[in-house]
């Protein structure tokens, strides 16, 4: 029965044959009990009848009659003690035996006329009263199954009626008629009583079955709920606690042992992506299962809580031994060393980075954040490294929290500014375009790096709000430049869009919609992306194509340092590339960099793509770039990033100086 089945449906579903069997079994049990109670009364009355017979001078007859009564009642009592096999046939067999025994007992009482000359002796009134009384008692005791009391009362009452009828006389004929009517009344009462008893037993058994079925359904529901709870709290692939289950388990554990110092490890598998790429996702799944079993085996006896945080990240929580300051680090180093030997062939070259957080009565979410920060530092240092949270990491996390907390207010208060750095034509020294750079002076922590602000926006679900705000600020700047007229009136502005934003946000609709609202031509805006954006996300590729088709210039930033430099130039939406500053720095003294820059410049010319040299800081670098045919440059040699008003003033000074 499922949890939605109603009680009415449960009753209707009870098998009628089974229900009848249960009712019959209850009748037999009740009959046995009532007969056991009635037999002692029967024997007492038998002894009384014998005494009256002896008193009347019928000693032998009375004793023989009593002996017969004792024998029959003994047999009846024995039948009540016999246990049925529980089958329907067995129950019916027992009932038939009880009927036969009742007939035998009734026949004994039908012999009473032998003790009183056919109900003509002076003791007739006593015997008639006794027979009628015991018959009434038999019906009252035998209500569970009518055939038994009927079988008992029929012989003595019919015997009495026959005796009265045979002896004749009006009064005796009337007595015979009255006994017959009495017999009929008792039979009717027995039948009606059984009918009522059966109805009661039927309802009782229906209720019992329904209760059992509801109980079974409740137990099944409990088991189902337990299974669902396990599924909700455990990772299907590895069987470990999942993120939610781990968080709840650790929270309970911290609450159960207040004041204790605890250690939380966050493990990340180094090289797991290579396993997936080389051997397929099924092999990757087997590796994750192997890692889960290995962790449980290695941590056996440490009372550790182990979970899979997601992807190839695992978490471990255990008590921290304050007497051993480096216990957590020692465990991490031991696990890092033993991992390769525990993996199969597909995972033998994997490593593991570990972030460790140690705290007392800390929130599990806070400990995970700390461990994640430590893990990031460990991965920056290379493979198979561990890092434990220290004061520096704590300060960094505090800054991140404050930035994430205050970002929305900063956007609403328009406290985030855009500064601009000119991109200059190397031959004419005129401003070709401006790159917008995000600036936010946090009230507590000062100037925030743009990438940290973008990360905080993504972490707090405000990435779209931040991008819209930056677009609005850029549109305001474009309006101001247009109003000023002159050299900067038609200069485009370039905005940086992160890979995460391009992959997850509808950047094309957002940009084109806002430009249309503001009435700004699409040629006035450029979007700067990194090389890998389009290759990492088909959705991003579609958005870039849509922007390019609408007239927005797509710029590949930091060109040359990514893994897809040449591949990115094949995309038709690319209209400009910016050579990474690492190739421009010291260009005059590096023949290798000159060759690379020259190749990029020539490739750009061949493909009709503008090339910008980033990080131009010296005259020597500028001269080499000009000699190589690079037409655009950006860097401190020309101007540092500044608010729009300062950039406009800088451009004015250059124009005056140029005469």
Q: Is residue 298 within 8 Å of residue 265, measured between CB atoms? A: no
- Separation CA 419–CA 642 (nearest Å): 5
- Separation CA 203–CA 215 (nearest Å): 18
CATH of the structural domain 400-658, one choice from 3.40.50.1000, 3.30.70.20, 3.40.50.150, 3.20.20.450: 3.20.20.450
- Separation CA 361–CA 94 (nearest Å): 72
Q: Is residue 148 within 8 Å of residue 142, measured between CB atoms? A: yes
Mean pLDDT to the nearest integer, 439-461: 93
DSSP 121-140: STTHHHHHHHHHHHHHHHHH
Q: Is 576 helix (H, G, I), strand (E, B) or coil?
A: strand
- Separation CA 628–CA 625 (nearest Å): 5
Mean pLDDT to the nearest integer, 507-525: 96
Mean pLDDT to the nearest integer, 546-554: 95
- Separation CA 219–CA 225 (nearest Å): 10
The answer to whether residue 536 scores a pLDDT higher than 70 is: no
Percent of the chain surpassing pLDDT 70: 93
CA distances from 627 to 43, 163, 334, 606 (A): 135, 149, 57, 17
- Separation CA 191–CA 183 (nearest Å): 12
The answer to whether residue 205 scores a pLDDT higher than 90 is: no
Ramachandran angles phi, psi of 526, nearest 5°: -120, 145
- Name the E strands within 443-524: 446-448, 493-496
Residue 375: per-residue pLDDT: 93
Asked which of 151-160, 513-522, 562-571, 650-659 is least confident by mean pLDDT, the reply is 562-571
Q: Which residue has the higher pLDDT, 208 or 409?
A: 409
**101-126 pLDDT, tens digit each:** 999 999 999 999 999 999 999 999 99
Percent of the chain surpassing pLDDT 90: 60
Q: Which residue has the higher pLDDT, 396 or 268?
A: 268
Q: Is residue 80 within 8 Å of residue 42, measured between CB atoms? A: no
Match 């406290």 to its residue by tokens: 415
Residue 659: per-residue pLDDT: 60
CA distances from 7 to 15, 17, 18, 209, 225 (A): 15, 20, 18, 11, 21
**140-167 pLDDT, tens digit each:** 888 889 999 999 999 999 999 999 999 8
**299-347 pLDDT, tens digit each:** 998 889 999 999 899 999 998 776 555 788 889 999 998 888 777 655 5
Domain with CATH 3.20.20.450 in the chain: 400-658
Q: Is 448 helix (H, G, I), strand (E, B) or coil?
A: strand
Q: Is 614 helix (H, G, I), strand (E, B) or coil?
A: strand
**CB hemisphere CA count around 528 (13 angstroms):** 18
Tokens read off for 291: 């890692």
Mean pLDDT to the nearest integer, 69-86: 87
Strand partners, 633: 424, 613
Band the pLDDT of 65: cuts 50, 70, 90: very high
Return the closest-CA partner of residue 86 out of 36, 142, 29. 29
Mean pLDDT to the nearest integer, 350-356: 92
Q: Which residue has the higher pLDDT, 532 or 162?
A: 162
DSSP 646: H
Q: Is residue 576 within 8 Å of residue 553, measured between CB atoms? A: yes
**Topology (CATH) of 243-389:** Alpha-Beta Plaits (3.30.70)
Domain with CATH 3.30.70.270 in the chain: 243-389
Residue 222: per-residue pLDDT: 83
Return the closest-CA partner of residue 431 out of 384, 493, 385. 493
- Separation CA 339–CA 650 (nearest Å): 59
Q: Is 571 helix (H, G, I), strand (E, B) or coil?
A: coil
Residue 10: per-residue pLDDT: 43
Mean pLDDT to the nearest integer, 403-431: 95
Q: Is 266 helix (H, G, I), strand (E, B) or coil?
A: strand
């Amino acid at each position: 029965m499922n949890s939605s089945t109603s009680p009415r449906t449960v009753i209707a579903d009870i098998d009628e044959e089974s229900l009848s069997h249960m009712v019959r079994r209850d009748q037999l049990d009740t009959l046995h009990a009532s007969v056991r109670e009635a037999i002692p009364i029967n024997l007492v009355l038998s002894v009384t009848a014998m005494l009256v017979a002896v008193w009347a001078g019928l000693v032998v007859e009375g004793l023989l009659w009593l002996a017969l009564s004792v024998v029959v009642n003994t047999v009846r009592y024995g039948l009540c003690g016999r246990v049925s096999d529980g089958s329907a046939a067995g129950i019916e067999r027992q009932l038939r035996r009880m009927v036969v025994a009742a007939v035998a007992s009734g026949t004994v009482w039908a012999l009473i006329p032998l003790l009183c000359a056919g109900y003509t002796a002076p003791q007739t009134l006593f015997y008639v009263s006794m027979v009628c009384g015991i018959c009434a008692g038999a019906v009252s005791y035998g209500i569970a199954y009518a055939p038994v009391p009927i079988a008992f009362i029929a012989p003595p009452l019919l015997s009495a009626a026959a005796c009265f009828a045979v002896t004749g006389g009006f009064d005796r004929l009337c007595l015979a008629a009255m006994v017959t009517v009495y017999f009929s009344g008792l039979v009717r009462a027995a039948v009606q009583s059984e009918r009522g008893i059966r109805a009661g037993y039927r309802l009782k058994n229906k209720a019992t079955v329904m209760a059992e079925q509801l109980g079974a359904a409740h137990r099944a529901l409990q088991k189902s709920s337990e299974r669902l709870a396990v599924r909700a709290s455990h990772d299907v692939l590895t069987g470990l606690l999942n993120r939610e289950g781990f968080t709840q388990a650790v929270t309970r554990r911290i609450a159960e042992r207040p004041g204790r110092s605890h250690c939380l490890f966050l493990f990340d598998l180094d090289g797991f992506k290579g396993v997936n790429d080389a051997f397929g996702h099924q092999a990757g799944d087997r590796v994750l299962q192997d890692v889960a079993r290995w962790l449980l085996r290695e941590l056996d006896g440490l009372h550790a809580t182990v979970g899979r945080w997601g992807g190839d990240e695992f978490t471990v929580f255990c008590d921290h031994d304050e007497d051993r300051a480096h216990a957590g680090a020692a465990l991490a180093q031991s696990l890092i060393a033993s991992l390769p030997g525990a993996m199969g062939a597909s995972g033998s070259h994997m490593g593991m980075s570990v972030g460790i957080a140690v705290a007392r009565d800390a929130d599990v979410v806070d400990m995970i954040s700390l461990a994640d920060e430590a893990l990031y530092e460990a991965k920056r240092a290379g493979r198979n490294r561990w890092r434990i949270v220290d004061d520096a990491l704590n300060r960094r996390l505090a800054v991140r929290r404050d930035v994430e907390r205050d970002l929305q207010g900063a956007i609403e208060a328009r406290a985030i500014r855009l500064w601009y750095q000119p991109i200059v034509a190397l031959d004419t020294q005129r401003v070709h375009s401006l790159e917008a750079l995000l600036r936010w002076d946090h009230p507590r922590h000062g100037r925030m790096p743009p990438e940290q602000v973008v990360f905080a926006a993504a972490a707090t679900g405000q990435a779209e709000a931040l991008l819209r705000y930056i677009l609005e600020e850029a549109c305001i700047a474009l309006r101001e430049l247009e109003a000023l007229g002159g050299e900067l009136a038609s200069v485009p502005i370039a905005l940086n869009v992160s890979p995460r934003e391009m992959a997850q946000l509808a950047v094309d609709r957002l940009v084109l919609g806002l430009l249309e609202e503001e009435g700004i031509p699409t040629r006035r805006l450029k979007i700067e992306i990194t090389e890998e954006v389009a290759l990492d996300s088909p959705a991003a590729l579609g958005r870039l194509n849509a922007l390019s088709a609408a007239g927005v210039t797509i710029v590949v930033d930091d060109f040359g340092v990514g893994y897809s430099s040449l591949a990115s130039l094949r995309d038709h939406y690319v209209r400009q590339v910016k050579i990474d500053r690492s190739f421009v720095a010291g260009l005059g003294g590096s023949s290798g960099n000159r060759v690379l820059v020259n190749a990029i410049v020539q490739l750009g010319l061949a493909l009709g793509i503008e090339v910008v040299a980033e990080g131009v800081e010296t005259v020597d670098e500028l001269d080499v770039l000009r000699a190589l045919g690079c037409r655009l440059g950006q860097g401190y040699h020309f101007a540092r990033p500044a608010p729009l008003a300062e950039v406009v003033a800088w451009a004015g000074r250059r124009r005056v100086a140029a005469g």
